[in-house]
Amino acid sequence: MQPSTVIARDRSDEIIANQKGASNEINRPQNSSTAVNSFIPPTSDFLSASNSAMKVFFFSSRPYDRESFEAAPKPDNFEFTYHSAGLSPETAPIAEGHDAICIFVNDTCDAEVLEILHEHGVKGVVLRCAGFNNVDCGKAKELGMFVARVPGILFSLFYGS
């Protein structure tokens, strides 16, 4: 089986908006045994028929996050950017140019942060944890942003309660 290529960026120590991290190619086998829940809503028009890359910015990422997500099976057109900084109003602008963000339990994703993310073109919030009390889901819905979490999608944002 041919390996597929995923582009990864690491901004571990940079917190400068609009500064791009160096990119490098990482090869991974398509039949990786690491399992990660799918986080893209199947009913969303978030992923268009376009062949352009799906860019996801990881806040509060650690080396083990990068290792896990790079080893996990995913479409070839996904690009991940990793940053050790937590999500806050001050750090939200560094996700500019990404389609979605991936956050953890201590990241702040309140109405103020969602507004900033939305202004910078972010369309979705993905949590790599089960809890979502740190996300203002009402504001996300108001802005037309999707929210997904482990183990699944917050369907109430799309289908009502």
User: In this predicted model, what pLDDT tens digit does every residue of 12-52 receive, in sequence order?
Assistant: 333 322 223 333 332 223 333 333 333 334 334 554 445 68
The first and second tokens of residue 85, run together, are: 């900084």
pTM for this entry: 0.67
Q: Is residue 91 in some structural domain?
A: yes
Distance CA 89, CA 117 (A): 9
Question: Taking a C-beta distance cutoff of 8 angstroms, is the pair 66, 59 a contact?
Answer: no
The whole domain housing 102 covers: 4-33+49-155
Residue 82 falls inside a structural domain: yes
**44 within domain boundaries:** no
Query: Is 42 inside any structural domain?
Result: no
- What would the pLDDT profile of 58-68 be if each residue is shown by its tens digit? 999 999 999 99
CA distance 154 to 115: 19
SS3 at position 140: helix
With respect to residue 131, please indicate whether it lies within any of the assigned structural domains.
yes
Per-residue pLDDT for 55 more than 90? Answer: yes
Residue 88 lies in a domain: yes
74/87 Cα distance (integer angstroms): 24
According to DSSP, residue 93 is labeled G
What is the SS3 assignment for 136? coil
CATH label of the domain that carries residue 119: 3.40.50.720
In a domain, 41, yes or no: no
Domain count, the chain: 1
Mean pLDDT (the chain) is 73
Q: pLDDT digits over 140-160, tens only? A: 999 999 999 887 554 444 445
